[in-house]
Copies of this chain bind each other. A is one copy, B any other.
Amino acid sequence: MSRTSTANVRLMAAAIDLMWEESYGAVTIDDICTRAEVKKGSFYYYFTSKADLAVAALEHLWAEEWKPSMDSQFSATVEPLARLTGFLESIYHKQTLTKARFGKVLGCPVYSVGSEISTQETALCAKAREIVGRKLRYYESAIQEAVATGAIEPCDPVQKALALVGLIEGLVGYARMMNDPEALRELPVMGLELLKAKPAAPAELSRT
């Protein structure tokens, strides 16, 4: 064989970053190559188009970053409801950090790109759908368990997870548009209200 390369990974990382900082449509292949320090010839050695790269980049993002993070945050060692509130808090923190680092709230690349290109680029849209679907499953499972535990009112977990993803992604998009992470501050509270969490502490601990 011959030499190995990291150019494909650099391209995927650059694509994610640029699409996140700007948008899918605003980023050109040349932009991506420049950021990744890869020549265009090499780009076409690894990928057939911008959309093709974007699909690979989203999957890579999921596998390398999001899945491990979600697995940890939604670990069975954590109370079901606490998984959700912890996750909601982490969204606020993350967006606050990106605002500090980039001067901009950047939101969620998967959701942004997914809804941006939903009427074009079917393969890319399918990948975005897939990833959003995976996230939904974490919510569903936590909600289902929380109902079983009695931490939240009985409900249809699928329905509630859908409402939750709406609330989350809607507010994250709002925060991006307003460039203000503070819109996400009360997200955990809003989430708990949406989920009809029961009045906090269990009865036997309530009289201190």
How many residues of A are in contact with the other chain, CB < 8 A? 46
The contact string, 1 if C-beta is below 8 Å from chain B, for chain A 162-180, is 1101111111111011110
SS class, residues of chain A in contact with chain B: helix
Nearest CB in chain B: distance from A131 CB, A: 11
Cα separation A196 to B106 with both chains bound (whole Å): 31
Is A43 in contact with chain B by the CB < 8 A criterion?
no
B193 with A129: CB separation less than 8 A:
no
Interface residues of A in 99-123 (CB under 8 A from B): 104-107, 111-112, 114-120
Cα distance A172–B26 in the bound complex, in angstroms: 23
Beta-carbon contact of B162 and A171 below 8 Å: yes
**22 A-B residue pairings within 8 Å (CB atoms):** A22-B120, A23-B117, A23-B119, A23-B120, A24-B25, A25-B116, A26-B117, A104-B119, A115-B173, A115-B176, A118-B177, A119-B176, A129-B178, A162-B174, A162-B186, A165-B170, A166-B166, A169-B170, A169-B173, A170-B171, A170-B172, A170-B173
- Using a CB–CB cutoff of 8 Å, the interface residues on chain A facing chain B are 21-26, 104-107, 111-112, 114-120, 125, 128-129, 132, 159, 162-163, 165-174, 176-179, 183, 186, 190, 193-194, 196
